[in-house]
C-alpha cells in the first residue's frame, strides 16, 4: 500500500485479524501514512489469544485489550478516541470483538 495522506478515514472491519502479529508493525505505519492529518482509523479484531490457521484454511490473529495496547503504543501519531467490545453470535456460540477508533494527530 503506497498511499500518502489520501484518505480521511480507513475502515478496517474484521480485516487486520488475518495479519500475523509480527507483521502489524509493518502494516500500521502504512495505514498511518495513507491517512490525511486528522484522519480516522476504525478497526475491529476478534478478542482472544489465538494465532494460527482455522479449520477452513484462513489465518486468524486474536487480540486482548492489553495486547492491542502493546502494539499501538508504538505509534504515537494515532490517538485513541474510543474502545468498545461487541459480541457476534455465530454457530451457536458467542464471539467477542474489540473495536477501536483512532485519529491521526500529525
**pLDDT by residue (tens digit) across 21-76?**
999 999 999 999 999 999 999 999 999 999 999 999 999 999 999 999 999 999 99
Task: Give residue 106's pLDDT band: very low, low, confident or very high (50, 70, 90).
Answer: confident
Q: Which of 36-73 are b and which e, b meaning 16 or more Cβ less than 10 Å from the residue's Cβ?
A: eeebbbebbbbbbeeeeeeeeeeebbbbeeebbeeebe
Average of pLDDT values for 17-22?
95
What pairing do the DSSP bridges indicate for beta strands 78-90 and 93-104? antiparallel
Q: How far apart are CA 104 and CA 7, in angstroms?
A: 11
Q: Is the pLDDT of residue 90 over 90?
A: no
Contact present, 86 and 92 (Cβ < 8 Å): no
**68-88 pLDDT, tens digit each:** 999 999 999 999 999 999 998
Domains, the chain, with CATH or none? 7-104 (3.40.50.150)
- Please state, in angstroms and rounded to a whole number, the distance separating the CA atoms of residues 85 and 101: 12
Which pLDDT does position 88 carry in this prediction? 87
Amino acid at each position: 500500500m503506497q498511499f500518502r495522506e489520501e484518505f480521511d478515514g480507513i475502515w478496517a472491519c474484521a480485516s487486520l485479524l488475518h495479519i500475523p502479529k509480527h507483521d502489524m508493525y509493518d502494516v500500521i505505519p502504512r495505514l498511518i501514512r495513507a491517512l490525511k492529518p486528522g484522519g480516522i482509523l476504525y478497526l475491529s479484531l476478534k478478542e482472544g489469544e489465538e494465532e494460527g490457521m482455522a479449520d477452513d484454511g484462513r489465518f486468524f490473529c486474536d487480540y486482548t485489550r492489553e495486547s492491542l495496547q502493546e502494539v499501538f503504543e508504538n505509534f504515537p501519531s494515532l490517538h485513541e478516541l474510543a474502545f468498545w467490545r461487541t459480541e457476534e453470535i455465530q454457530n451457536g456460540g458467542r464471539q467477542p470483538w474489540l473495536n477501536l477508533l483512532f485519529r491521526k494527530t500529525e
